A and B are shown apart, each in its own frame.
Chain A
Amino acid sequence: MTDIREVIGTGKRVERHHGWPRFEVDRDGWIRAAETLAEGRLTLAGLWGEKAAIHMAVLAEDGGSAAVLTLACPNLTFPSVGRLHPPAIRLERTVHDLFGLVPEGAPDTRPWLDHGRWGVRFPLGACEPAPADGAPYTFLPVEGDGLHQIPVGPVHAGIIEPGHFRFTANGETVVRLEARLGYVHKGIEGLMQGATLSRAAELAGRVSGDSTVAYALAFARAAEAALGIEAPSRAVMLRALMAELERVANHLGDFGAICNDAAFALMLAHCAVLREQVLRTAEASLGHRMMRDRIVPGGVAVDLEPAGAAAVASLVKEIRAKLPALIDLYDNTASLQDRTVGTGYLKPELARQFGAGGYVGRASGRAFDARRALAYAPYDRLTFEVPALPEGDVNARVWVRIREIEQSLSLLDQILDTMPRGPLRVETAPPGMPVEAAAMVEGFRGDVLVWLRIGADGLVERCHPRDPSWFQWPLLEAVIEGNIVADFPLCNKSFNCSYSGHDL
């Protein structure tokens, strides 16, 4: 096991930072950390800026411990991590776009979220006025005989989020895919600055709509760790109930949608019915189909009545009865397997290097699950497995989802059986001095990180929510290489990265 402290040397530990330790390091310590990431002895979990400082979250190799490293940047520059460790490149481009901090020696200095349309530069840093002229974007060059380009998006042909994909193909075979994102950047981190805790929690729940429970939970856990309070045990259990319902709903939706992208619409029809039943149960028992704004700092905003608990129990029974026939159908339909097996192969080394979370990592052998690795309540008391497969193809990503649905159903049973009685919420009060914390939870798509600093007056000074998609989007570009253009929807859906969560 790698001791983070040992790796980064003797940084100064910051008091009043909770959840994980935070260390202030010098340039040498920062570079040493980047080298350790490049050697694969640590995993990058996030990289974000402030007006004159840069932060990086790292996980130990086994995932069981984590830390935040901070480098002060009085000259608004810092040694590039992306120069040594590619997963940091897009994060550094974003840090430059938002704060104006310059990564020295960065391999890619093109803007990322900034499309030249905001009317300002460095909105969270110096905030200089800039013409909103939509400066042109340079795609990476691709050269060779017989190549042609296919531009797609930002407005797509289906009901999906906006992003631009530039395919370079040789006949039907994709030679290179380059994505351009940032279209749905809403400036959430900017809106959070100076917001009350409850408004910031609302914004956190709107970073990515399909993961509203995961984000609200990560934010609430960070806020509680910072303030040194604990949610009541009934609230903790209700939160897990919501998180597992959200996971089941999304996995069911994806299971059907992936098959539909292989032109197998029957599975979509069946899965969509089950997904709808999850959402209806959520509305009947918790008051909102997607359980938005139900988790708040200090606890939960809604109780589960006995009728609601019965509805969830019968939902679990229903899905358990229906799922085996669908799994059988998936596994025994040759035309479907022909499309999913071997398609969109993600190498285990790449998954590990990028710290890919969720089914993307777990289908390529990276068995990290924040519920298990960081063992936050109530998962430390519940029994479940973390399914992982080594194959790394679309088929493996489907199977990991199927196995996770089964695990979540078992978790829902356990949660209902052991639900304690008691209060739902504790009050939060201004801390009287600045406090900070980091928290990570397992959303359906992977690990969601929230880093939070609360001022003495109880208002948010700085919050950074980090979506798992940051480390999954670049891998999608890698897995499509050598596949045919028509398999892109299949690869894309099997990843199901969030645009809104990434663009923020």
Chain B
Amino acid sequence: MRKLLFESLLKPILTERRPSSDEAAVAELAAAVAHTARKRLGRSLSIREVDAGSSNDSELEIHALNNAFYDVERFGIRFVASPRHADVLLVTGPVTKNMRQALERTFAATPGPKWVVAVGDDALDGGCFAGSYAVAGGVGDVVPVDLHIPGNPPSPTALLKGLLALLDRADAG
């Protein structure tokens, strides 16, 4: 283990430059983030991830945000274990009818001000699964959505762009 730790002192870093935040995502957000956001948030963002019916692909890419390439914590973005600690709910879906109540209750348990980010094409309107007897619809059909990050699933870079847009708007607010 010592050898590995020493090696990592000499190795070049894997972390890459910050991607520019997505223009469309910024526009979508403009109306949503209020002036008070900056004061309340500072430059940090605590995220509670909620899988409301995804096929687990988005979860894998959200996980990847924590790897050494993206290292999301350097932007002040971190994942927390409870909605009580969160500013943002990062919701993947479609929202299944069996998960609807759990999502509503998680949203209710998150203190304000709070934002909901819907992740992936299915989270917009149910996508591929729209019309099923078991699907309630997109995330926006169950809780108010502030930002939608499209993708199938969105890559870590796309996720990072969306989340940075959220922080940028909060800064500019």
Q: Is B55 an interface residue (CB 8 A)?
A: yes
The interface stretch among B37-45, B65-73, B138-146 is: B65-73
**Looking at the complex, which one of A123, A202, A210 makes contact with B56 (CB distance below 8 Å)?**
A210
User: Is A183 in contact with B102, judged by CB distance below 8 angstroms?
Assistant: yes
A119 to B69: give the CA distance in the assembly, Å: 45
Q: Is A484 an interface residue (CB 8 A)?
A: no
User: Is A184 in contact with B60, judged by CB distance below 8 angstroms?
Assistant: no
Please judge, given known A-B contacts A186-B129, A187-B134, A273-B14, whether A157 and B81 are in contact too, CB under 8 Å. yes
User: Is B129 in contact with A325, judged by CB distance below 8 angstroms?
Assistant: no
CB within 8 Å of A: which B75-128 residues: 79, 81-83, 94, 96-102, 106, 128
Please judge, given known A-B contacts A155-B106, A159-B49, whether A272 and B101 are in contact too, CB under 8 Å. no
Chain A residues whose C-beta falls within 8 Å of the C-beta of B59 in the assembled complex: 159-161, 209
Q: Is A185 an interface residue (CB 8 A)?
A: yes
Q: Is B160 an interface residue (CB 8 A)?
A: no
Interface centre among A134, A203, A270, A272 (most CB of B within 10 A): A272
Interface centre among B49, B56, B61, B82 (most CB of A within 10 A): B56
- Nearest opposing residue in chain A for B106, CB measure: A155
User: Is B4 in contact with A191, judged by CB distance below 8 angstroms?
Assistant: no
A500 to B135: give the CA distance in the assembly, Å: 13
A168 to chain B, nearest CB (A): 22
Chain B residues whose C-beta falls within 8 Å of the C-beta of A183 in the assembled complex: 53, 96, 98-99, 102
Q: Is B21 an interface residue (CB 8 A)?
A: no
User: Is B96 in contact with A186, judged by CB distance below 8 angstroms?
Assistant: yes
Residue total for A at the interface (Cβ-Cβ under 8 A): 55
Chain B residues whose C-beta falls within 8 Å of the C-beta of A499 in the assembled complex: 56
User: Is B128 in contact with A184, judged by CB distance below 8 angstroms?
Assistant: no
A276 to B66: give the CA distance in the assembly, Å: 11
User: Is A186 in contact with B56, judged by CB distance below 8 angstroms?
Assistant: no
Chain B residues whose C-beta falls within 8 Å of the C-beta of A315 in the assembled complex: none
Mark A493-504 against chain B: 1 for CB-CB distance below 8 A, else 0. Answer: 000001110000
User: Is B133 in contact with A187, judged by CB distance below 8 angstroms?
Assistant: yes
User: Is B129 in contact with A161, judged by CB distance below 8 angstroms?
Assistant: no
CB within 8 Å of B: which A349-382 residues: none
User: Is B54 in contact with A155, judged by CB distance below 8 angstroms?
Assistant: no
A30 to chain B, nearest CB (A): 29
B60 to chain A, nearest CB (A): 6
Q: Is A329 an interface residue (CB 8 A)?
A: yes
Q: Is B3 an interface residue (CB 8 A)?
A: yes
Q: How many A-B residue pairs have CB under 8 A?
A: 144
A377 to B53: give the CA distance in the assembly, Å: 34
A283 to B155: give the CA distance in the assembly, Å: 10
A332 to B1: give the CA distance in the assembly, Å: 9
Chain B residues whose C-beta falls within 8 Å of the C-beta of A279 in the assembled complex: 64
Q: Is A43 an interface residue (CB 8 A)?
A: no
- Nearest opposing residue in chain B for A159, CB measure: B49
User: Is B68 in contact with A269, judged by CB distance below 8 angstroms?
Assistant: yes
A325 to chain B, nearest CB (A): 6
Q: Is A190 an interface residue (CB 8 A)?
A: yes
A266 to B146: give the CA distance in the assembly, Å: 36
Q: Is A27 an interface residue (CB 8 A)?
A: no
User: Is B57 in contact with A155, judged by CB distance below 8 angstroms?
Assistant: no
A224 to B4: give the CA distance in the assembly, Å: 48
A124 to chain B, nearest CB (A): 9
User: Is A184 in contact with B53, judged by CB distance below 8 angstroms?
Assistant: yes
CB within 8 Å of A: which B1-27 residues: 1, 3-5, 14
Q: Is A289 an interface residue (CB 8 A)?
A: yes
Q: Is B132 an interface residue (CB 8 A)?
A: yes
User: Is B60 in contact with A118, judged by CB distance below 8 angstroms?
Assistant: no
- Nearest opposing residue in chain A for B101, CB measure: A134
**Looking at the complex, which one of B56, B66, B97, B106 makes contact with A209 (CB distance below 8 Å)?**
B56
Q: Is B35 an interface residue (CB 8 A)?
A: no
**Looking at the complex, which one of A203, A269, A500 makes contact with B128 (CB distance below 8 Å)?**
A203
User: Is A191 in contact with B129, judged by CB distance below 8 angstroms?
Assistant: yes
A368 to chain B, nearest CB (A): 24
Chain A residues whose C-beta falls within 8 Å of the C-beta of B153 in the assembled complex: 209, 290
A268 to chain B, nearest CB (A): 9
A292 to B100: give the CA distance in the assembly, Å: 27
A282 to chain B, nearest CB (A): 11
- Give 17 A-B contacts (CB < 8 Å), ordered by A residue: A123-B134, A159-B79, A183-B99, A184-B51, A184-B98, A186-B129, A187-B135, A188-B129, A191-B128, A202-B128, A206-B128, A209-B58, A209-B59, A210-B57, A266-B4, A279-B64, A325-B4
B residues adjacent to A (C-beta < 8 A): 1, 3-5, 14, 49-64, 66-69, 79, 81-83, 94, 96-102, 106, 128-129, 131-135, 152-153, 155
Known contacts A117-B100, A209-B59; 13 additional CB pairs below 8 A are A115-B97, A155-B102, A161-B51, A162-B51, A184-B53, A184-B54, A206-B55, A269-B67, A275-B67, A276-B64, A276-B67, A279-B64, A329-B4
Give 7 nearest A-B pairs by CB, closest first. Answer: A209-B57, A187-B134, A187-B132, A157-B81, A272-B67, A209-B55, A209-B56
